[in-house]
Structure 1
């Protein structure tokens, strides 16, 4: 299985580029420090991208003498040629004084269902306490931070507003700002970082799947997003967190990057990650996005879609599996589309949800309340119900996206 996960990634992080990369240390603001940021002048192959966690020479001096907590999951790794070691295991072996691990949605090892409560526990490999940041305890408490001098945040994001790791980032930054604890952020590529798209979230629809006034596809890395949270004063009472970003080397937003480790149980490959911003809207409908199959977020379908209205030729039957213990429409035949061989997207494709709505028999039961939380606005549902085309709907996003992009430019670390 390891060979499959790392197929074509043996040379993912070629260290020969390190010696010739120029190094700078840039102070962005009084509370944000960027370390090892390389300004790119040309497209550099993805094999040369060096993630923050790999740059031990940049951050180990910052950990010396500190009691450290880590926000991590299965993607928090230090890459080697054809292999990797988990960040937590590496830091333990390097005698860093780790006190605890904070686990976001899907848990420390990344096997929990979406929405499943992640429980506190003990990491069997290291013996470290694991503190859940999903469920009732989404924000670290003062007691949980009492024995911590510094927090490391190292989570692979996929660039969609409703992917909850940026919400966890917000709460970690807020708790640490209140406790005057600095946060060290290890940056990683955004596989959907090559575009921005979608409606801007409206304040009245704020939730854990959308906390900030940004579009569905935000076009930022975790490090850049943390800068935006600080700069736009989105933390409670406008407080600012003392953050240091270990920036990547040789990364560009235009680079196509395939994640070597799946970021969550239902995003198993590059195709699912690319389709996720378009297909996740189905989570707020009676249509399955493939949970309970081996093509999660690569297919969609429902028992209620009329194949005479729209030529849905693909069929599947959801069954329980990793990440979907009770999938939508379990053991029922779903009619829909297989998108696993579709073209690479550089925008949200609204035709999927629009065509599914047109083909559903009982339109009153198509949407549920979660759809508005995912969209961040009630307008999208109303636009689909009124029969607007994808092009007509997208025209209503233009001014909001332009304003957002102007704001976003202030916080970008990579071209």
Structure 2
């Protein structure tokens, strides 16, 4: 009896150990598959080097880039003792192409906030040299928003790779416009390495009226337009929005594994005052405050996640703006501001005007609530007039409907990825 039990015990242990080994192997295999899936679920245009490196070899190129211009490539590496495998390695696009055989990078064009993304919003970015590569950096913000023909002399191709956030008043799409226009005039092709739009899952806001065109709004599109920067470039070209209707020789290197409802978490902040996903999601709604006497959190560590003003009613939430990175001279510096903390709000799939309307209603300084910048941001005078006349959010949004439907029909022609809106 004892022998039988011992054999049974050994048999049980043998079977149990084998089961555990198989289970561990399956879990390891599953984990590898999961990692691979996460790594390959989405590839940016920059990551898809097989689609554009051949177009650049033997060419003198210029790159429009900033701190977000990063690509990930598989490189051989030792993953265990005496075992070689592959791992994803990150490179800045400028560094990668500068070191790539038979590609000659001649210069870098830098947008608002500069090549390394440190400058304040609206701060003039100076020309200079990149310390790492010794390449000349030409600013496309300030007086020189459009590359000159002299700056494009000797350039065979311009590569554009900047992370956008999908709001009309975010100036990277205006930089794209001027780059395309200058290159069309100089007969220089442009290659856009496409990137996801973190606000690409909806369309909302007033459509810009052309008489209010500015660098924070150059085209007749709504505040939130639901397109990647590559799709947007195709629309600029196709709708002939460049001067005199000229068109650029444009190639878009598309994303892999992307649809417009893809919730993409930006690995690098696109500008100093959009530090995280919450700020990026709230930005289209809160940026209207930039055209008022209300702070949207510049000079705090919750930029575009809070709002407040010394002129609003006292509340349980308050903050005092102080100079910091990206806001050397913040609105209401060193003044106590009352308002609202929005860090716990739900993920938005629409513009939220309730905070703007509430702030206007509560301010004790209505005559000075708006400044001239508000109309540029809105792209129309109507929004300010509607707020001053006491329109509800529902009434304001109803007035956008016809223009939004017309825009969606234009948008459809230039989409690269799944249409669901």
Q: Same fold (TM over 0.5)?
A: yes
In the TM superposition, 1:6-405 aligns within 5 A as: 48-79=41-72, 84-95=90-101, 96-307=103-314, 312-405=315-408
Question: Aligned equivalents of 1:348 and 1:82: distance in 2?
Answer: 37
Question: Aligned equivalents of 1:275 and 1:46: distance in 2?
Answer: 27
Give the deviation of 1:62 after TM superposition. 0.2
1:228 is paired with a residue of what secondary structure? helix
Give the deviation of 1:65 after TM superposition. 1.0
User: Unpaired segments of 5 or more residues in structure 1?
Assistant: 1-10, 18-44
Give the deviation of 1:181 after TM superposition. 0.2
Question: Aligned equivalents of 1:333 and 1:83: distance in 2?
Answer: 45
Give the deviation of 1:79 after TM superposition. 2.4
Question: Aligned equivalents of 1:246 and 1:344: distance in 2?
Answer: 29
Question: Aligned equivalents of 2:361 and 2:142: distance in 1?
Answer: 35
User: Unpaired segments of 5 or more residues in structure 2?
Assistant: 1-30, 74-86
With over 3 angstroms needed to count, the CA separation of the structure-2 counterparts of 1:394 and 1:46, relative to structure 1, is: farther
Question: Aligned equivalents of 1:50 and 1:165: distance in 2?
Answer: 21
Question: Aligned equivalents of 1:79 and 1:299: distance in 2?
Answer: 34
2:46 is paired with a residue of what secondary structure? helix
RMSD: 1.6
Partner of residue 25, structure 1 = none
Q: Which has the higher contact order (CA 8 A, sep 6+)?
A: 1
1:79 is paired with a residue of what secondary structure? strand
| C-alpha contact 1:70 1:153 (8 A) present in aligned 2 | yes
Give the deviation of 1:47 after TM superposition. 5.9
Question: Aligned equivalents of 2:274 and 2:216: distance in 1?
Answer: 17
Question: Aligned equivalents of 2:127 and 2:287: distance in 1?
Answer: 28
| C-alpha contact 1:76 1:156 (8 A) present in aligned 2 | yes
With over 3 angstroms needed to count, the CA separation of the structure-2 counterparts of 1:399 and 1:179, relative to structure 1, is: same
Number of aligned residue pairs: 373
With over 3 angstroms needed to count, the CA separation of the structure-2 counterparts of 1:83 and 1:355, relative to structure 1, is: farther
Which deviations, in whole Å up to 9, do the C-alpha atoms of 1:295-322 show, x marking residues without a partner?
A: 0000000000023xxxx42111100010
Tell me the TM-score normalized by structure 1.
0.88
1:54 is paired with a residue of what secondary structure? coil
Q: Which has the higher helix share?
A: 2
Q: Which moved more, 1:51-60 or 1:203-212?
A: 51-60
Question: Aligned equivalents of 1:69 and 1:271: distance in 2?
Answer: 33
Which deviations, in whole Å up to 9, do the C-alpha atoms of 1:341-393 show, x marking residues without a partner?
A: 11000000000110000011110100000000000000000000001111110
2:52 is paired with a residue of what secondary structure? helix
With over 3 angstroms needed to count, the CA separation of the structure-2 counterparts of 1:15 and 1:148, relative to structure 1, is: farther
Which deviations, in whole Å up to 9, do the C-alpha atoms of 1:240-278 show, x marking residues without a partner?
A: 000111000000101111101000000000000000000
Structure having the higher Rg? 2
